Amino acid sequence: MNTSAISMEESLAKLNTFKKEVMQELKAPDDLSRDQILEMFRKMALIREFDSQVKTLWKQNYIYGLAHAYLGAEAVGVGACTALKKGDYITSTHRGHGHVISMGGDVNKMMSELMGKADGYCKGKGGSMHIASVDDGMLGATGIVGSGMPIAVGAALTASVKKKDYVTICFHGDGGTNQGVWHESINLAAAWKLPVIFLCENNQWAISMNYDRATGNPAVADRANGYGIPGVTVDGFNPFAVYEAVRDAVKRARAGEGPSLIEARYYRYIGHFVADDERYRDTTTNDPWAEEMDPINRMRDYLIASGTASKEEVASIYQSTVDEVAASVEHAKNAPEPTEEILWDGLYSAEFMQMFGGK
Amino acid sequence: MGRTITIKQAINEAHHEEFARDDSVIIMGCDVGIRGNPFGVTAGLFDAFGADRVRDTPISEAAIVGACLGAAITGLRPIGEILFSDWITIPMDQIVNQIAKLRYMFGGKTNVPLVIRAPVGAGGGQAAQHSQSFEAWFSHVPGLQVVMPITPYDAKGMLKTAIRGNDPVLFFEHKRGYEITGEVPEEDYTVPFGKAVIRREGSDVTIVAVSIMVHRALKAAEELSALGIECEVIDPRSIYPFDYDTVLASLRKTHRLIVTHEANRRSGIGAEIVSQVVERAFEELDEKPVIVAGLNVAMPYSLSLESMVIPNEENIKQTVLQLMDRV
């Protein structure tokens, strides 16, 4: 009996449809400088290296609990956050490492957090699934699917009430689109014309549930029509396509024209979490996607073919991320464990803890 | 100079004054704006402060409460109103997993200054989905504060404390309490959390009464006084933080304890209060502690049935008489 959630035939058919209907050729838009383009590649490579190491470190038990890799999604986070400026916010998902790096976060602090160390972003209290770099505008990863939606709406509400011109990107997955709060949040933001961009990272899999089986219409962007806001689908393996869609939505949001829904469609050709054995699908069905769509390879090929950078330069940028991640692993391994003194910190405000101790 | 006003007016005044004091304060919820909330507690706010800060919402409790959180961590002091506290089940994930946890999980990076206001309580035949009191649920969750003021003075002062504080607060108003009157100062004041008030002094039995039960306990105490039994009635005002010191000091005098709340008894806040008292001051108890609470049944519609479920002054009185061996 074939118990795989997808056959090779179906996977190939989906890939072909993707190529025909969604895939966009890489071409850097005119408004991005060479430096910005190379920085996009560097961040994508940094995510790739970071999360490749996370998998290894989890198996060695340096990282524990639950860790979800952003591998294959690098173009979405980096493309989207390139369209932001300082002061803008994002909300994240349980797959948040790529979002931290996309917002310019510090890999040492992130690696320390994943190893539960005291100098981690969250002092070892959040781990991978609750990684947050609030000072960079990354308002945190949450482990309940879809739950970041209204939080992003609230951040956008502050901008609206306080007449500030920042925008908020709400990253979420295809799994989140079938939660009730997804609909409530988009509807509320649309009714109030709030400056928020709902960016669906549609990797087509909610653990073992293929999106084709999870909804009557797997084109997420179509749902925008129901809320009276623009909706587009872009190639989620292509950082420039994501950048351009988000840039346009950001412009609209800053102009007070309200929210947009962007579906960055890609394909999770890795496990749901780093130790997922993927027993629900034949893993060879992932291979065609990884071979043909890998965003790092596509970006590397583009940079060289377009003459943006030489082969050596590209290799040197990539190597710099390998070194940075290796250094972060050493840093985190040697970082101190948190102690009991900080166990209660942050449960309530400092003044409340002083009065009542929180216990 | 004090004035005599109702709890409803006190809550309304607190909103108006805090909105005027700090333009970061906003409110959102179903019918809070143009309608001024079904009980009138937000009346006049919409006209005074505008649609930007006084926001009528679609019926989307999860989005409303979640948006309060997002707004709170980015610079506003939002108040989210749930029309009836029974519907707080809808945004439960946002309250329990996001609001209560976010600052802690993220290493203390941000404050979470938000208030969720909701009317609790039974009476008048509102049946199973409009009569409940869930203070025990939220008291159970680390990261939240829960208050249940039941005088105009406390309602106004505690709402101000809640709005000005940097923590998430569940502010539960008893529907049968809105018309209770009491004296409130003209000038600005706040009431601290975690400080109980002795509503009536007595030397025979300590009655810890939650929310509306304070007034029922006071009535029972008056009748008992005529029989020569003096009850000390304690209004904890906040459920978490809870002021055990005041309760224990009273017990050292009375050596008898009754805890009463309207919420049904099973796993209610009374169980926690009694267990804390037993652990901390077992030797002070001359009699077993007793809980007078709602029955463990869904609230029925018929007034004849409803009155069997809600604890009243007679239940308290009989319990006191039993404890005093006067039955």
Q: What is the pTM of this model?
A: 0.96
Mean pLDDT calculated for residue range A82-110: 98
* Residue B54 in contact with partner chain A when CB distance is under 8 A: no
Residue A15 lies in a domain: no
Q: What is the CATH number of the domain that holds A41?
A: 3.40.50.970
Residue B319 has φ and ψ, to the nearest 5°, of -65, -40
B143 to chain A, any CB pair closer than 8 A? The answer is yes
Residue B171 phi, psi dihedral angles, 5° rounding = -110, 105
What is the distance in angstroms between the Cα of B109 and the nearest Cα belonging to chain A? 7
Say if A194 falls within a structural domain: yes
Closest to A38 in 3D by CA, of A302, A344, A323, A248: A302
Amino acid at B277: V
Q: Closest partner residue to A151 among B53, B66, B109, by Cβ? A: B66
Asked whether residue A157 is domain-assigned, the answer is yes
Classify residue A195: in a domain, yes or no.
Answer: yes
What is the distance between the alpha carbons of residues B243 and A345, in angstroms, rounded to a whole number? Answer: 22
CB B41 within 8 A of CB B173: yes
Any domain includes A238: yes
Q: Could you tell me if residue A332 is inside a domain? A: no
Rounded to the nearest angstrom, the minimum Cα separation between A180 and chain B is 8
Q: Which residues of B are catalytic?
A: 130
Q: Do B167 and A348 touch (CB under 8 A)?
A: yes
ipTM (interface predicted TM): 0.94
Provide the domain count of chain A.
1
**Would you say B205 and B323 are in contact if contact means Cβ atoms under 8 Å apart?**
yes
- Compare CB distances from A188 to B60, B94, B104 and report the shortest one's residue: B60
Tens digit of each residue's pLDDT (9 = 90 or more) over A293-312: 999 999 999 999 999 999 99
- Non-local (6+) Cβ contacts of A335 within 8 A are A112, A115, A117, A118, A119, A120
Nearest CA among B149, B143, B79, B163 for reference residue B116: B79
> What are phi and psi for residue B267, nearest 5 degrees?
55, 25
Domain membership of residue A119 as a residue range: 37-312
Residue A333 lies in a domain: no
Distance CA A66, CA B64 (A): 29
- pLDDT by residue (tens digit) across B140-194? 999 999 999 999 999 999 999 999 999 999 999 999 999 999 999 999 999 999 9
d(CA A153, CA B69): 9
A138 touches chain B (CB under 8 A): no
Closest CA relative to residue A201, chosen from A181, A176, A178:
A176
CA distance between the termini of chain A: 55
Q: Mean pLDDT across the stretch A195-208? A: 97
Does residue A131 lie within any of the structural domains?
yes
Q: How far is CA A15 from the centre of its chain?
A: 22
Count the Cβ atoms, other than its own, within 10 Å of residue B302.
10
pLDDT at B1: 64
Residue with tokens 């009542």: A356
Looking at every residue in chain A, the average pLDDT score rounds to: 96
pLDDT tens, B45-101? 999 999 999 999 999 999 999 999 999 999 999 999 999 999 999 999 999 999 999
Q: Indicate if the pLDDT at residue B245 is higher than 60.
A: yes
Distances (CA, A) of A22 to A17, A44, A177, A222: 8, 21, 19, 14
Domains of chain B: 2-185 (3.40.50.970), 197-323 (3.40.50.920)
Q: Are strands B77-81 and A209-210 parallel, antiparallel or unpaired?
A: unpaired
* Pair type for strands A205-206 and B115-120: unpaired
